[in-house]
Amino acid sequence: MDYDDDDFDDFLELKQDEAKEANEESDSNEEEIICEADTSPVHEKSKSKPESYETDLELEDPEKFFTTGQEELYREACKLVGVIPASYFIRNMDETHMNLNHHGLGPKGCKAIAIALVSNTSITRLDLEDNWILEEGALSLMQMLHENYYIQELNVSDNHLDSKGAQIITDFLSENTSSLWSIQLAGNDFKDDTAAMFCNALTANYRIKVLDLSHNLFSEKGGELLGQMLVLNEGLQTLDLSWNQLHLKGAVALSNSLRVNITLKTLNLSWNGFGNEGAQALGEALKINATLAQLDISSNHIYNDGAIKLGKGLELNETLRILKMSQNPVTVDGALAMILSVKKNPKSRLEDIDISNVLVTEGFVKQLEGVFAVHPELDVLYGEVTGTISKTVSLPIAFKVIKAYVEQNKTNMFEFFKSINHLGTPKMPVAEFRKALTLQNKVHLNRPQIRELIKKLDPDETGIIDYR
């Protein structure tokens, strides 16, 4: 590295020495953290160490030192690096979620936070989006994560990390030793050279489950490298590559990886411009893949031919539940062909299809009713119906319809939902809930009413309805 980061180790070793001295003098005196200049013996000792991503923490009594002076430790760290303490960080040190997005920390402010977090046992999710932490800040965070085994989710999107920052992070991920399972790295100007770094790191890393690399600068070559990573990776469950420039070759490589990958459940490839041939490659992969549950291919220049070829994969796929492909130039003909492909598949698990920009016809709507008869758990979000006068129809809110029924029958809402639940539990997957409301004959609810009811009962889109 071109910059010297020895003071991170210096400060932590200095804290160790002070803690030992305080314990030897008296247990009754409170420990007082004192910052010293880098001319101390500790500094001389650390100069002999090669620079690495590790910190040297070996306290005789870490509990006594670290659990009583978190705020003081952070304030002294701020003095050491020359920044003003972030009051929000001080107020929320004991929370599990630390949200420091858009706080203007910079690399030095990030270093002070990292020093304080070495000993923090409360925070499990750390958000540092848009703080200009640069590669220096990334290094401080990776040093901290060598010692902190409590942080599980890290968001460092939009921090101008570039290739040097990517190298620091991927070197750390290659070690596969932390408790981190989710990392968001969107908008960091990563190019194809960093794709090779992520390929090498995540080929061996099985701990990372969620990876966000959206809004970066990966091209077709980067897509090919990330496709190679998915072939060998055995841990990743969610991958977001939206808003890159993967185009055809990148889409084909990632599609081919889905033929052998057995862990990925959610894949976002929206805004990558891979066209009909990319959709065809995905369709071929969906014939074989048995794990992917959510796929977003919105805004990818997919026309009718691509939608039809994607549908060939939907005829055989048994795991995909959510398909988002809005903002593609698909017409009603391509949309209908794709929907009818789902009807041909009795084992399809699709429950949500988003083609919300497609203008459809009354004939399409009638055909869709036939699809719903085979798959009552399915919901299709489409655009306006052409050939009809557009008008807003005020429908009774589903809750009011159900309430009127339960009052008339002298029961309650809970008992109503319980009566339509064949699972016999107070919770239902959204697809099962939609299917149950469609098939029950106690109250009449159309699909828009059911859709709104689900939004009310599952506002966070967890996929589970808890009607208690």
Residue 300 neighbours by CB under 8 Å, 6+ apart: 251, 269, 270, 271, 272, 273, 274, 275, 278, 279, 325, 328
Q: What tens digit of pLDDT does each residue of 365-388 get?
A: 999 999 999 999 999 999 999 876
| Mean per-residue pLDDT, 136-142 | 98
Q: According to the model, what pLDDT value does residue 29 have? A: 40
Give the rounded percent of residues in the chain with a pLDDT score beyond 90: 68
Q: What tens digit of pLDDT does each residue of 322-352 get?
A: 999 999 999 999 999 999 999 999 999 999 9
CA neighbor of 103 nearest in space, from 114, 87, 92: 87
Q: According to the model, what pLDDT value does residue 405 have? A: 83
Is the pLDDT at 310 greater than 80? The verdict is yes
C-beta of residue 283 within 8 angstroms of C-beta of residue 312: yes
Out of 3.80.10.10, 3.10.450.50, 3.40.50.2300, 3.30.420.40, select the CATH number for domain 73-382: 3.80.10.10
Give the CA angle between residues 67, 109, 243 to the nearest 5°: 115
420: confidence class by pLDDT, cuts 50, 70, 90: confident
Is the pLDDT at 359 greater than 50? The verdict is yes
Q: According to the model, what pLDDT value does residue 30 have? A: 36
C-beta of residue 90 within 8 angstroms of C-beta of residue 109: no
Q: What tens digit of pLDDT does each residue of 233-263 get?
A: 999 999 999 999 999 999 999 999 999 999 9
Q: Positive or negative CA dihedral for 455, 460, 466, 468?
A: negative
CA neighbor of 295 nearest in space, from 333, 339, 350: 350
Min mean pLDDT across 27-31, 71-75, 209-213 is at 27-31
Q: According to the model, what pLDDT value does residue 12 have? A: 58
Q: According to the model, what pLDDT value does residue 37 have? A: 30
Is the pLDDT at 85 greater than 80? The verdict is yes
Average pLDDT value for the chain: 86
Quote the CA–CA distance of 37 and 40 in Å, as a whole number.
Answer: 6
Residue 296 neighbours by CB under 8 Å, 6+ apart: 242, 267, 268, 269, 270, 324, 325
User: Is 103 or 461 the better-scoring residue by pLDDT?
Assistant: 103
Q: What tens digit of pLDDT does each residue of 158-208 get?
A: 999 999 999 999 999 999 899 999 999 999 999 999 999 999 999 989 999
17: confidence class by pLDDT, cuts 50, 70, 90: low
Q: Positive or negative CA dihedral for 298, 299, 300, 306?
A: positive
Is the pLDDT at 459 greater than 60? The verdict is yes
In words, the CATH class of domain 398-466 is mainly alpha
Give the rounded percent of residues in the chain with a pLDDT score beyond 70: 84
Q: How far is CA 117 from CA 51, 120, 362, 401, 437, in A?
A: 20, 5, 60, 52, 49
Kindly list the domain boundaries of the chain, sorted by start residue.
73-382, 398-466
C-beta of residue 363 within 8 angstroms of C-beta of residue 331: no
| Mean per-residue pLDDT, 403-430 | 85
Tell the burial category of 48 from Cβ atoms under 10 Å away from its Cβ (0-12, 13-18, 19+). Answer: exposed
Is the pLDDT at 125 greater than 60? The verdict is yes
Is the pLDDT at 27 greater than 60? The verdict is no
Q: According to the model, what pLDDT value does residue 395 have? A: 55
Pairing status of strand 210-212 against strand 182-184? parallel
Amino acid at 148: N
